[in-house]
Chains A and B, each alone.
Chain A
Amino acid sequence: MDGDLDRWFIEHILVHEAALQRYLTRCWPHRDEVRDLRQELYTRIYQAAAKARPASPKSFLFSSARHLMADRARHARVVSIVPMGDFEPSHVLVDDVSPERWCGGRETLARLSDAFDRLPDRCREVVWLRRVEELSQKEVAMRLGISEKTVEKHIAKGMRLLADALHADQDDPAAATGVDDEHEHAR
Chain B
Amino acid sequence: MSTNTPANDPPRDSLAIEREAADWLARRDGEDWRDADQADFVRWLDADAAHHVAYLRLAAAWRQTGRLQALGAGWQGNGPPPRGYWQAPLATRSEQLLQAMAERPAARGPARKPVWVRAIATAAVLMACIGAGAWGWRAYHQVEITTYRTAMGQVEDLPLADGSQATLASNSQVEVRMSRRTRSVRLLQGEAIFAVAKDPGRPFVVDAGTHQAVAVGTRFSVRRDARDLRVVVTEGIVRLESSPGAGAPQPASLLPADSIALVREGGVLVRSVAPGDAQRLLDWREGVLAFRDTPLAEAAAEFNRYNPRKIVIGDADVGALRIGGSFRWDNAQGFAQLLEAGFPVRADYGAERIVLHSR
**B-contacting residues of A (Cβ < 8 Å)?**
1, 6, 9-10, 14, 17, 30, 32-33, 35-36, 38-40, 42-43, 46-47, 71-72, 75-76, 78-80, 103, 108-110, 112-113, 116-117, 124-125, 127-134, 136-138, 148, 151-153, 155-157, 159-160, 162-163, 166-167, 178, 184
Contacts and interface: CB of A to CB of B under 8 A. Distances in A.
Given A43-B11, A72-B6, 14 more contacts: A10-B56, A33-B2, A39-B54, A46-B49, A71-B6, A72-B4, A75-B5, A75-B6, A112-B71, A133-B72, A137-B30, A156-B23, A160-B19, A162-B61
B50 A131 contact: no
A40 B56 CA distance: 14
B342 interface: no
A166 B26 contact: no
Of the four ranges (under 10, 10 to 19, 20 to 34, 35 or more), the interface on chain B belongs to 35 or more
B64 A156 contact: no
B323 interface: no
B25 A159 contact: yes
Contact of B64 (A39, A110, A166): A166
Given A9-B53, A42-B57, A127 B65 contact: yes
Given A109-B71, A133-B200, A153-B26, A36 B57 contact: no
Contact of B58 (A46, A79, A129, A159): A159
B68 A42 contact: no
Contacts of B25: 156, 159
Contacts of A9: 53, 56
Contact of B18 (A78, A103, A160): A160
Interface of B: 1-6, 11, 13-15, 17-19, 22-23, 25-27, 29-31, 42, 45, 48-50, 52-54, 56-58, 60-62, 64-72, 79-80, 83-87, 200
Given A47-B49, A127-B65, A131-B68, A152 B58 contact: no
A155 B26 contact: yes
Given A125-B79, A128-B79, A138-B31, A36 B2 contact: yes
Contact of B30 (A75, A112, A124, A148): A148
A31 to B, nearest CB: 12
A132 B68 contact: yes
5 contacts: A78-B4, A79-B3, A128-B80, A132-B68, A162-B64
B79 to A, nearest CB: 5
B12 to A, nearest CB: 9
Contacts of B14: 35-36, 38-40
A178 B83 CA distance: 23
Contacts of B65: 112, 116, 127, 131, 162, 166
Nearest to A41: B53
B80 to A, nearest CB: 4
A113 B29 CA distance: 21
A108 B2 CA distance: 35
Nearest to A74: B6
Contacts of A108: 64, 67
B37 to A, nearest CB: 13
Given A39-B53, A134-B200, A163-B61, A125 B80 contact: yes
A39 to B, nearest CB: 4
B8 to A, nearest CB: 10
A116 B26 contact: no
Contacts of B19: 156, 160, 184
A120 to B, nearest CB: 11
B26 A156 contact: yes
Given A110-B86, A127-B65, A138-B31, A39 B11 contact: yes
Contacts of B54: 39, 42
A35 B67 CA distance: 26
A128 B66 CA distance: 10
B64 A103 contact: yes
B71 A113 contact: yes
Nearest to A72: B4
A131 B66 contact: yes
A32 B112 CA distance: 47
A61 B337 CA distance: 60
A105 B61 CA distance: 15
A25 to B, nearest CB: 15
Given A76-B4, A132-B69, A132-B200, A160 B31 contact: no
B49 A167 contact: no
A36 B13 contact: yes
Query: Which residue, of A43, A71, A178, has the highest number of chain B Cβ atoms within 10 A?
Result: A43
Given A39-B17, A166-B61, A124 B2 contact: no
Contacts of A113: 68, 71, 85-87
B275 to A, nearest CB: 8
Contact of B70 (A14, A71, A109, A153): A109
A152 B53 contact: no
B22 A156 contact: yes
Contacts of B61: 159, 162-163, 166-167
